[in-house]
Amino acid sequence: MSLLAWTDERWFTLRSGYRDLYNPADALQALEQGDFSLAWEELWENLLHHNDVDTAAYASVPEIVRIAWQLKLADWNAFALIAVIEEARLNNDRNPPIPEWLMDSYERAWIDMATLALQIYPKAEDPFLVNALLSVLAFAKGKRAIGTFAIGLTEEQQDEMLGLKDARPIEIDGAQS
């Protein structure tokens, strides 16, 4: 069940990363119904803008987490989007605080998404998914710098920053880590 009923008036008062009114309920419902490509595209486009997020992003986090659990989503978009929202919230003073009516659900969503990330991580192979999972785990533990590093940089950029241009992954039981 959704945090807010889809007809709740608060959906119509939320603001996008562009700071205009934006109701993400239709995109979230499409996501819930399995219409992933259009839903993700709309959510990425509207929830954040140049590191700006607002109430629509905050209200979407518990819904994305609920849907991810419901569908057992191992989709990098689910983890990356909430990680980018959290990164923007923590690292940009222009962004508003989470509304009081949403705070408990938002905090609970982070606990739930970290738990899901731990379940998915052992079998994750897609580099985008792995980075998103690591970022979610870092933010859930209050490790802002690690979460930002994991979600904000490509693997090549991370290797370059660390001077690991020719590093090879370690193989564990035939799988690269």
User: pLDDT of 105-137, one tens digit each?
Assistant: 999 999 999 999 999 999 999 999 999 999 999
Over residues 81-87, the mean pLDDT reads 97
Q: Supply the pLDDT for residue 154.
A: 60
Going by the DSSP 8-state scheme, the letter that residue 13 receives in this structure is G
CA torsion angle 133 134 138 141 (round to 10): 60
Average confidence (pLDDT) over 160-176: 63
Tokens 């989709």 found at: 75
Residue 158 has a pLDDT of 60
Q: In percent, how much of the chain has pLDDT > 70?
A: 85
* Average pLDDT over the chain, rounded to an integer: 90
Whether residue 156 has pLDDT greater than 80: no
- Whole-angstrom Cα distance, residue 36 to residue 57? 17
Whether 165 shows a pLDDT value over 90: the answer reads no
Tokens of 132: 């998103």
